[in-house]
Structure 1
Amino acid sequence: MITTTDKTSDGEPRGPLAGIRVLDTTGVVVGPVATLMLAEQGADVIKIEPPEGDLMRRLGGRPRKPGMSPKFLHFNRNKRSIVLDLKSDEGREVMARLVATADVFVSNMRPRALQSLGLTFAAMAAINPRIVHCTISGFAIGGPYAGVPAYDTIIQGLSGVAACHAEVLGEPRFAPFVLTDHLVGIVAAQAICAALLGRQRTGVGEAIEVPMFENAAAFVLSEHLDQRTFDPDGHMGDPRIMNPDARPLQTQDGYICVSANTDAQMRAFFDAIGRPELKDDPRFASVASRVVHVRAYFAIRAEAMRERTTAEWVEILRRHDVPAMPYHTLQSLLDDPQLRGSGVLTNEIQNNEDGQEESMLGLRHPNRYSNTGVPASRLAPRFGEHGEEILAELGFGADERRRLAGRGADAAE
């Protein structure tokens, strides 16, 4: 149960997970996405890195500073870093003390690695019965793929994500971002919060298994089982989503995104494009009939949008209360006034090795909490940046900290 106050002594918000300590042994994307959500809701996330560091420090784009790639910066905000060699006695000694103080442990190691390092739920619960132990795996235990390694592209191809592109584009493609890593990371964060709530009732922790493949496949099938839900020979794939015109629509000077789904929006849309007679067309008179005749409906929509500029259509469609917004390129997204106004996209200031200030584009937690707020955004940690302070918090004296530094529990980079 959270016993800390919701705000710091100077009145700054702490977030709804203030007082929760999370031990994060994950790397790359899926695990760091999960722990990022917890960190930005106020949890104290301690990123436990092996001596070689998180691969994303090097894999996530060209860094301005060594070990601080762009992707690493964005996936690891508001965390602290300590370096532990968990294969060493010293590293395990520190880890045992951390487990005794923690509420949550998160890992994307395979079961064999967890067993060899003494990081199973049973081992941790023996030290701290209240710990919530979350393992993010490629595949669920019990199936034939259990223990097989996986990355996002493997899961996209296996779960049907790439096949959805094939239905529309004629060839399988991966989504141009690590879709299933993000999806499963969010699922893991939700499962952890649910387990913490359950712990308030029971007083004890539990083990959580969050498999990537099963979650991604359920995500795809919930959208696209369609008539196969009822009929073994039924059609699969939502015809609205699989339609080639289910995309940003070309205007005179660019593209626009339009969705008129309800009957009221349909009637308003036909008025907006100057085709009021189509409101009485039986093909489009109801949601059900528009699904059957989705190709014709989308073709009319696409043809109409070519007649005006994007700005003209946005103004007209908003006047008719039809959902519509301009299409963004990656570059124009950075200038979106909503992202700037809500504070999600912001300019951050960091100091370089010479003490000079450097600017960078930063991201902040999009969600807000009326009572507890969210903690101030902090830059991702340097490799082992907080080792010294974490060891001190665990009760290691100065002599012990010097002994541990460089021997499996590095206090600093």
Structure 2
Amino acid sequence: MAGHGTLAGIRVLDLTSVLMGPFCTQILADHGAEVIKVEGPEGDTTRQLPVMAAPAMGAMFTNLNRGKRGLSLDLKRPEARAALLRLAATADVFIHAMRADAIERLGLTYADLAAANPRIVYANVYGFSRRGPYANGPAYDDTIQAMSGMAALQERMQGAPAYSATLVADKVSGLTALYAVLMALLHRARTGEGQEIEVGMFETMANFVLTDHVNGALFEPPRGEPVYGRAASPNRRPYRTADGWIAALIYTDKHWRAFRRVADEPAWMQDPRFATLGSRAQHIGEIYGRIGETLARRTTADWLAALNDAGIPAAPVNDTADLLHDPHLEAVGFFVEQESRYGRLRYPGMPAWFSRTPGRITGPAPALGQDGRAILAEAGFGAAEIADLEAGGALIVPAAPAEAVP
């Protein structure tokens, strides 16, 4: 299948579901890879999450799996496994999100795939590395946020452990899987060697959280607790103004001097504890509180104008609906609108821009199994073989394309 963008010509067998793996492969598809979404007879669970574009076409699924082709196989049947291994001989990447014991039972380990295609990049993406005691444990975004220390850090700010309002563990892990796959493809381009890679959500989020919060625990013996105080301060939050909210960061000494001018230098700013970045960092909770008292005296519009004119980072507090009409996102063409059999769809666009090999959103997610016959035919399966797979229940094809939900 002809591609576009940087990854044109790369074929990916995508056995992932929900968010982590599909987010990784969505980006591969946006940048030209042929991504074949391989689902079981029941389909990816996110197909059923409202709001629905069509039956079994939830909005999250429709976006995360955009631009992919659909193949549905009952991999518990040996003939379906054999078909997938045959297809793998034509693929560059195989990515799955099954636990290690499950993929082994199916006979689809790296050794099995490499026997069919030694050049394949085989990616395991799941909750925990196989090499530790948590291997094969169930993992979801909420539990990984809790285990990685992220939820506990919110307790310092909010008074109780809390989850992020976006599925950050899934998405950060999906991005980690993306760069791991691309590095393995680069290695293959240089050496001709395929390889197996593994991305665990727990390990990914431990790295993500501790990148800044390792802090004093970087040293042995430790010189302080593993917390970056500024980031976890209970006063680090949007500031209330006279008529709303504002986000502002008075951080560097240059910011501080400018803020003293635009705030008419109230008396508390004379405190020597706040004179330098280092001394302010040692009293970050108190200074956040004092800044909040000052910002509460004027309107959001007044502060935005004054702070931006002074070169101090400041921004309005948008909600997600505001993003749909943000003038900057509109100017850069961030949202991509397309007609589809489900009606007009508006996709959140690609954040990376390429001057020579731009990506492109090529359409909504596939209906369950919609491209199965064509994919197998392109891989060299004869019409009789495909018919036998379908008749035996190994290949699942849709009776008719899903229509939009009114």
Fold conserved (TM > 0.5)?
A: yes
The answer to whether the 8 A contact 1:388-1:412 is kept is no
Helix, strand or coil at the partner of 1:101 = coil
Question: What residue is the counterpart of 2:346 in the other structure?
Answer: 361
Give the letter aligned to residue 164 of structure 1: L
The answer to whether the 8 A contact 2:11-2:92 is kept is yes
The answer to whether the 8 A contact 2:156-2:234 is kept is no
Deviation of the 1:403 alpha carbon: 2.4
Distance 2:139 2:67 in 1: 27
Distance 2:331 2:94 in 1: 35
Helix, strand or coil at the partner of 1:291 = helix
Deviation of the 1:171 alpha carbon: 1.1
Question: What residue is the counterpart of 2:21 in the other structure?
Answer: 31
Distance 2:88 2:306 in 1: 59
Gaps of 5+ in 2: 400-406
The answer to whether the 8 A contact 1:90-1:409 is kept is no
Deviation of the 1:24 alpha carbon: 0.4
Question: What residue is the counterpart of 1:405 in the other structure?
Answer: 390
Q: Which of 324, 337, 341 is residue 351 of structure 1 equivalent to?
A: 341
Q: Does 1:287 align with 2:277?
A: yes
Q: Does 1:372 align with 2:357?
A: yes
Question: What residue is the counterpart of 1:196 in the other structure?
Answer: 185
Q: How does 1:111-150 map to 2 (within 5 A)?
A: 111-150=100-139
Question: What residue is the counterpart of 2:165 in the other structure?
Answer: 176
Larger deviation, residues 343-352 vs 22-31: 343-352
Distance 1:279 1:346 in 2: 47
Distance 1:233 1:271 in 2: 37
Question: What residue is the counterpart of 2:378 in the other structure?
Answer: 393
Deviation of the 1:379 alpha carbon: 1.2
Distance 1:100 1:253 in 2: 62
Cα separation, partners in 2 of 1:73 and 1:89, compared to 1, 3 Å: same
The answer to whether the 8 A contact 2:53-2:62 is kept is no
Q: Does 1:241 align with 2:225?
A: no
Distance 1:64 1:375 in 2: 21
Once the two structures are superposed, residues 74-112 of structure 1 have per-residue CA deviations (whole angstroms, 9 ceiling, x without a partner) of: 211111111011111331232022211111111110111
Once the two structures are superposed, residues 10-50 of structure 1 have per-residue CA deviations (whole angstroms, 9 ceiling, x without a partner) of: xxx82111111111001111111111121112111110000
Distance 1:197 1:282 in 2: 53
Give the letter aligned to residue 104 of structure 2: Q
User: Normalising to structure 2: TM-score of the pair?
Assistant: 0.92
Give the letter aligned to residue 46 of structure 1: I
Q: Which of 210, 216, 223 is residue 212 of structure 2 equivalent to?
A: 223
Distance 1:49 1:210 in 2: 21
Q: Does 1:67 align with 2:56?
A: yes
Distance 2:178 2:166 in 1: 20
Larger deviation, residues 151-160 vs 235-244: 235-244
Number of residue-to-residue matches in the alignment = 397
Q: Does 1:331 align with 2:321?
A: yes
Larger deviation, residues 262-271 vs 182-191: 262-271
Q: Does 1:158 align with 2:147?
A: yes
Q: Which of 285, 292, 301 is residue 291 of structure 2 equivalent to?
A: 301
Distance 1:257 1:144 in 2: 42
Structure 1 runs (4+) greater than 4 angstroms displaced: 276-281
Distance 1:191 1:27 in 2: 18
Deviation of the 1:218 alpha carbon: 1.9
Larger deviation, residues 195-204 vs 338-347: 338-347
Larger deviation, residues 307-316 vs 114-123: 307-316
Question: What residue is the counterpart of 1:355 in the other structure?
Answer: none
Helix, strand or coil at the partner of 1:383 = coil
Q: Does 1:103 align with 2:92?
A: yes
Distance 2:345 2:388 in 1: 37
Helix, strand or coil at the partner of 2:53 = coil
Helix, strand or coil at the partner of 1:135 = strand
Helix, strand or coil at the partner of 2:57 = coil
Give the letter aligned to residue 190 of structure 1: Y
The answer to whether the 8 A contact 1:83-1:412 is kept is no
Give the letter aligned to residue 176 of structure 2: V
Question: What residue is the counterpart of 1:266 in the other structure?
Answer: 256
Question: What residue is the counterpart of 2:330 in the other structure?
Answer: 340
The answer to whether the 8 A contact 2:123-2:198 is kept is yes
User: Normalising to structure 1: TM-score of the pair?
Assistant: 0.91
Identity value in percent: 41
The answer to whether the 8 A contact 1:106-1:135 is kept is yes
The answer to whether the 8 A contact 2:100-2:130 is kept is no
Give the letter aligned to residue 269 of structure 1: F
Distance 2:10 2:88 in 1: 12
Larger deviation, residues 159-168 vs 305-314: 305-314
Larger deviation, residues 260-269 vs 121-130: 260-269
Once the two structures are superposed, residues 301-327 of structure 1 have per-residue CA deviations (whole angstroms, 9 ceiling, x without a partner) of: 212221222222212111111111110
Give the letter aligned to residue 115 of structure 1: E
Deviation of the 1:281 alpha carbon: 4.9
Deviation of the 1:280 alpha carbon: 6.6
Helix, strand or coil at the partner of 2:242 = coil
Give the letter aligned to residue 250 of structure 2: A
Gaps of 5+ in 1: 353-357
The answer to whether the 8 A contact 1:51-1:85 is kept is yes
Q: Does 1:250 align with 2:240?
A: yes
Question: What residue is the counterpart of 1:18 in the other structure?
Answer: 8
Deviation of the 1:235 alpha carbon: 2.7
Once the two structures are superposed, residues 114-155 of structure 1 have per-residue CA deviations (whole angstroms, 9 ceiling, x without a partner) of: 112121111111111110000012111221111112111111
Give the letter aligned to residue 161 of structure 2: P
Helix, strand or coil at the partner of 2:5 = coil
